[in-house]
Structure 1
């Protein structure tokens, strides 16, 4: 059984490689070709979770599971908040064949999926990116979205001004773009074209009234029912696209809160991103529309990424991804 460590994942699963993989994975999910259960999450203690995500890329395609821990305090120590394994099983014999570093796959595939969604939903002339948060996902989202839009500037907001400034300096050096910080969320998003919420906020930090017409948002930080990064008004005002309709209906915190308040119904989710990517449903309908991509992350994204690393010369059968 092979093990693919963090360094190999980072070296081989680049954004250029992963973004097309995410497009195809999400199209396959929306076509009903993949199989997955809703993730099971076990709360361990404050800021610590353990998740189990099983699934298959098709009826006769690779299958497996992600075992992932989320420890928010790791960030302060310079460690990944998401740690674990993606375990792959060979489709014909059912034998386990590979375990892959899940933390690095999660960082890359999440940002790559957001980049694919941004390419489909953001205005073509979007140039100003705002990152709400300064952790690993903020860095990966900046790197991935640079590949789908010609960014002119990035603005960063975080609860610690010192950490936000330090992160902005590192990002400026890495990407060669102007990167500044903002003192408040409202200030940060005032001129945004694209906003990525990648925080560990438990209550909304972004209000709909602060978001200008034509903005695209990737809501990423909350991946289970409970914590919410944006308020009900933003959900109500937006053209709301899910990575998985079933997932967001059951575990998309921002949507669930707005629905519980009686502001939206299930039909407010206009599409899955796979439906937009395959051209089945229109994403953005006008330059003034606010679009939202709600990202929970799904096992088919992890399996597709892991299989590409394990068997790059063995594509998934046509009836799979």
Structure 2
């Protein structure tokens, strides 16, 4: 029977520091990872397919987006990850895809901030209170030991306070923000994990030296930051091909000439290999735009499922 790793097992197998190191290696020497494909199963339902492979393993993530799934006891977005042996093509393990995704997404953002943010950041703002938000807080806290204040903001004040209290109860220095504009202006790092279709963060709020992390938008119709924010920033992406196809925060201002392709310094792999210097001064505003990359899934799955891909398996 094919071994299956539950959400709890996946989270336990991916400690933040080890995951960040694994992701660094994957970005520096990336596996084959074609741009994900999306298939419309109906007017509302979508199937996403994200494959990647290296000399050791093949990984495939299947993601379903079914808005009516809740009526049948499911989740609007669900995911499964299948890990196969590269030499034989044989299935080795099935992993909980949601746990894998939130873990690797948060770790990638925190890792990118180590390369792009100003040294020794002390204040983080997380915009959004959905499923990814608490993992973003935990990943940044683990990878940025100089952080002293972490603030969360959401449209619903009660939900925001509940999230802040939950994280504070777990020993994290978290509080709830009441003014988004003030919180953005005070932050060294602003991380957005929303599903917004209109900009939430305005460029006029950003002070010099801020690092802006845009995570939530994954279609051309979604925006988390306005044109002013994007035009002020030196931009790095997780995947050039995917970002220029799917990231509304970039495709929209590119389409109307607010920014040119030259505004995108490169991808995270190039930064980590030392080929691109994203931050050139303490005054630079930097921006990391991620839409999700299959290389992150494969790297995390290999770390979580190491026992199933040993030579003796």
TM-score, normalization by structure 2: 0.91
Give unpaired runs (5+ residues) of structure 2: none
Give unpaired runs (5+ residues) of structure 1: 317-321
C-alpha spacing 1:172/1:70, structure 2 compared with 1 (3 Å) = farther
Q: Give the corresponding residue for 2:51.
A: 54
C-alpha spacing 1:105/1:160, structure 2 compared with 1 (3 Å) = same
Of 259, 266, 283, the match for 1:264:
259
C-alpha spacing 1:252/1:161, structure 2 compared with 1 (3 Å) = same
Are 2:121 and 1:120 aligned?
A: no
Alignment of 1:202-281 (within 5 A): 202-281=197-276
The answer (yes or no) to whether the contact 1:68–1:84 under 8 Å persists in 2 is yes
Alignment of 1:161-180 (within 5 A): 161-177=157-173, 179-180=174-175
Deviation at 1:88, TM superposition (A): 1.3
The answer (yes or no) to whether the contact 2:79–2:98 under 8 Å persists in 1 is yes
How far apart, CA to CA, are the structure 1 residues paired with 2:111 and 2:222? 24
Q: Give the corresponding residue for 2:35.
A: 38
SS in 2 for 1:143: helix
C-alpha spacing 1:313/1:54, structure 2 compared with 1 (3 Å) = closer
C-alpha spacing 1:43/1:200, structure 2 compared with 1 (3 Å) = farther
Deviates more, 1:143-152 or 1:189-198: 143-152
Are 2:194 and 1:199 aligned?
A: yes
Q: Give the corresponding residue for 1:14.
A: 15
Deviation at 1:73, TM superposition (A): 8.9
Q: Give the corresponding residue for 2:302.
A: 307
RMSD: 2.4
How far apart, CA to CA, are the structure 1 residues paired with 2:41 and 2:86? 33
Are 2:145 and 1:145 aligned?
A: no
Q: Give the corresponding residue for 1:319.
A: none
Deviation at 1:312, TM superposition (A): 5.0
The answer (yes or no) to whether the contact 2:234–2:286 under 8 Å persists in 1 is yes
How far apart, CA to CA, are the structure 2 residues paired with 1:262 and 1:315? 51
The answer (yes or no) to whether the contact 2:220–2:246 under 8 Å persists in 1 is yes
SS in 2 for 1:26: helix
Q: Give the corresponding residue for 2:89.
A: 94
Q: Deviations over 1:196-225 (max 9, x none)?
A: 000111111111111111001111001222
TM-score, normalization by structure 1: 0.88
C-alpha spacing 1:282/1:261, structure 2 compared with 1 (3 Å) = same
Are 2:158 and 1:157 aligned?
A: no
